[in-house]
Structure 1
Amino acid sequence: MKIEESKYKFIYRHKISEPFGNFYIFDDYVISEINEGIHFNWALAEIVIEQIYDYFGSRDVKLSFISNRINSYSLHPQDWMCFYKQGYQLQAYAIVAYNKIGIMNVILEKLFSQTRIRKFHHLDDAVNWIEEIKTRDLESYA
């Protein structure tokens, strides 16, 4: 389900549109929809990461990320190492995969990520998981 065709189109705060995909910024998380056939690599990720931090005005914001894989595209799971070397952090990472290939890619990404990763078949389930993590983390600081 695309964001623009869902209930989430009414609640995102900002949309980043790039030739390689769309990125929707919510209060505590970002949802990506990468375009069909794109090879999503570190160079493209860095473009979006900077725009997200510019939007929030700080690199200290604690965000989670949902990859809404509505299209088929490729990526380098080892690019996660670049992400962490730059000092970036994620609270959690959800992947919504609608086919078997997308689910198999999750296994590879788990090998390289230092973040909590979970796969889902429905966008609502991924959003609920991200919101539960945020709530749990806030309660643990209280």
Structure 2
Amino acid sequence: MTFENYSYSKTIDYKTLKMPFGTYYLCEKFFIGELNEGIHFDWKKTELVVQKLIEHYGEKAKIGFISNRINHYSIDPSNWTKIEEKYNLIIASAIVMYNNSTYMNASIEKQFAKRSIKRCMSLQEALDWMLSLKEFH
């Protein structure tokens, strides 16, 4: 389910950021990414998104990230390491999985990240976990 079609989206303020390869929803303490079907999310695309995040949240921001994997696409798992080393922006991430292949990919990505990545079975689970993080209280 897309974030915009989810009931929680009707209860909060957020900004929609449409990119050629996906849509991002910029909430107060975290952002949600929904990438387009069939794309390869490489470092160049990652840097485009990060620059937009810095413009929105500021250079010193500490935010969470929810990857809502509603579509099939590929990602370079080393992006996690590069983001952590270069930007130090994301404090924790959640990956919402809708099938077994997404679970396998998320497990591989989890091995590359130094920060916490939670694998979730629903968008609600990811939101609940993100909003419970002690860094946001």
TM bucket (normalised to shorter chain) is over 0.9
Alpha-carbon displacement from aligned partner over 1:41-74 (angstroms, at most 9, x marks no partner): 1110111111111012x21111000000000000
Q: Does 1:80 align with 2:69?
A: no
CA contact (8 A) 2:95 2:126 kept: yes
**CA 1:51–1:84: 2 relative to 1, 3 Å:** same
Highest Rg: 1 or 2? Answer: 1
1:128 to partner: Cα distance = 0.4
Q: Does 1:9 align with 2:21?
A: no
Q: What are the residue-to-residue correspondences of 1:57-76 with 2, within 5 Å?
A: 58-76=58-76
Tell me the amino acid that sits aligned with residue 15 of structure 2: H
**CA 1:65–1:138: 2 relative to 1, 3 Å:** closer
Q: What are the residue-to-residue correspondences of 1:43-122 with 2, within 5 Å?
A: 43-56=44-57, 58-122=58-122
- Normalization by structure 1: what TM-score? 0.90
1:88 to partner: Cα distance = 2.3
Structure 2 counterpart of 1:36: 37
CA contact (8 A) 1:66 1:95 kept: yes
**CA 1:110–1:9: 2 relative to 1, 3 Å:** same
1:138 to partner: Cα distance = 5.0
CA contact (8 A) 1:12 1:24 kept: no
- Normalization by structure 2: what TM-score? 0.93
**CA 1:41–1:7: 2 relative to 1, 3 Å:** same
How many residues matched? Answer: 136
RMSD of equivalent CA atoms: 1.3
CA contact (8 A) 2:64 2:130 kept: yes
CA contact (8 A) 2:24 2:34 kept: yes
Structure 2 counterpart of 1:24: 25
Q: Which stretches in structure 2 are left out of the alignment for 5+ residues?
A: none
Deviating runs (4+, > 3 A) in structure 1? none
